[in-house]
Amino acid sequence: MKKLVVLAVATIAFIASGIAQTSIAHVNTQRVLDTMPSRKAAIQEVEKFEERAMNELQETQAKLQSDYQKLQSEKPTMSPTAYKFEENRLMKKSQEFQQRQQELDQQIQILSQELNEPILDMVQAAIETVSKVEKIEYVLDESALLYSKGKDLTNKVIAEVMRLEVARAPKEEAGN
């Protein structure tokens, strides 16, 4: 029994010393992202694409509304069969419009993902590098914290991300 108690005390002491040596820090990833020129460029590219898509959809919608109003004004002079044919044609165009709208939404999501993936990879690499230098075992995002008075790595991660962006820029220019 004494051996069991001694073993239990030793185990608890070992676990407690391991917990005490665990190093945890936090990073404000949103602030890191907001400082990145590549992130700003990606946002602008997505916004330009969205603007072109919205213009296309607005033009198409205006044309559909105009065609529908014209059909309504010509209805009294049309035969019921001709009116039905024209109405079906407009309904088909309306369905095509809805499909195009969904297609453009998907394209915006894909573009955003493709542009943001290397940026997020770069942030992750910067966090890993800083964590290794600082001998940090766990890094949490500030957005997930209810309270934090621990070590903040945000400025160091920003510096590392900027270094990575500068290193990446010549490679991208050579590729273009």
Q: For every one of its 176 residues, what pLDDT tens digit does the chain have, with 9 covering 90 and above?
A: 455 444 444 445 445 445 446 789 999 999 999 999 999 999 999 999 999 999 999 999 999 999 999 999 999 999 999 999 999 999 999 999 999 999 999 999 999 999 999 999 999 999 999 999 999 999 999 988 888 788 999 999 999 999 999 988 766 666 65
Q: Is 72 a domain residue?
A: yes
How many structural domains is the chain composed of? 1
Q: Where are the alpha helices (DSSP H) in the chain?
A: 2-21, 29-35, 37-74, 80-134, 154-175
Q: Is 47 a domain residue?
A: yes
Q: Tell me, what's the pLDDT at 110? A: 97
Q: DSSP state, 143?
A: G
Q: Is 11 a domain residue?
A: no
**Cβ atoms 90, 61 nearer than 8 A:** no
- pTM of the predicted model over 0.85: no
Q: Is 117 a domain residue?
A: yes
Q: Tell me, what's the pLDDT at 10? A: 45
> Residue 39's domain spans which residues?
23-175
Q: Tell me, what's the pLDDT at 144? A: 85
Distance between CA atoms of 19 and 16, rounded to whole angstroms? Answer: 5
Q: Is 17 a domain residue?
A: no
Q: Is 15 a domain residue?
A: no
- CATH number, position 92: 3.30.910.20
Q: Is 10 a domain residue?
A: no
Q: Tell me, what's the pLDDT at 113? A: 97
Say which residues have a Cβ less than 8 Å from residue 131's Cβ, sequence separation at least 6: 25, 137, 139, 153
Q: Tell me, what's the pLDDT at 127? A: 95
Q: Is 73 a domain residue?
A: yes
Q: Tell me, what's the pLDDT at 12? A: 52
